[in-house]
Amino acid sequence: MKPRITLITLAVEDLERGVRFYRDALGWPTDGIVGREFEHGAVAFFDLDQGLRLALWLRASLAHDSGLPAAPGSATQFCLAHNVRSREEVDAVMAQVRSAGATVTKEPHDTFYGGYAGYFQDPDGHLWEVAWNPQMLPAE
């Protein structure tokens, strides 16, 4: 199996709220919610860098599709990271998500690896790290 991830799906309780956060507050491109005509089909896709996409799908729909019971998640099951090019950009992104209604769980701080990072949770509790890592800068 080739190590390839093309889509990350986040289970949400309120699809409209999730779209407002990522599209309206963070400015991420999307065509909005599609698939409403199908039972368990309503989903929103966001185009990210290098062909990667983020999907928001109702928790109940993901449970139905996977055959698993719907269950609450834990914010520490996984973390998504948004790497930036400077300490100042970490502060700017954290201010943006805070004003959009995210819960900041850890203010930006100097890290043990010589970088600078902070953590927030989106409206459904998904954990995100915003980090400047001088050894792992994103492409322009």
**Strand 127-132 relative to strand 116-121, pairing:** antiparallel
Element (H, E) at 138: none
Q: What does the pLDDT look like over 66-100, one tens digit per residue?
A: 999 988 778 888 899 999 999 999 999 999 999 99
Element (H, E) at 100: none
Q: What does the pLDDT look like over 21-49, one tens digit per residue?
A: 999 999 999 999 999 999 999 999 999 98
Homologous superfamily assigned to 79-132: 2,3-Dihydroxybiphenyl 1,2-Dioxygenase, domain 1 (3.10.180.10)
Domain 7-65 CATH assignment equals 3.10.180.10: yes
Q: Give pLDDT, residue 139.
A: 79
61, 44 contact by CB (below 8 A): no
**What residues form DSSP beta bridges with 132?**
84, 116
- pTM for the full model? 0.88
**19 pLDDT band (50/70/90 cuts)?**
very high
CA–CA distance, 11 with 8 (Å, rounded to integer): 10
Which of 71, 56, 61 has the alpha carbon at shortest distance from 9?
56
120 has pLDDT over 90: yes
More confident residue, 18 or 136: 18
Q: Where in the chain is the domain with CATH 3.10.180.10?
A: 7-65, 79-132
DSSP tally for the chain: helices H, then strands E: 3, 8
Angle of CA points 87, 98, 51, to nearest 5°? 70
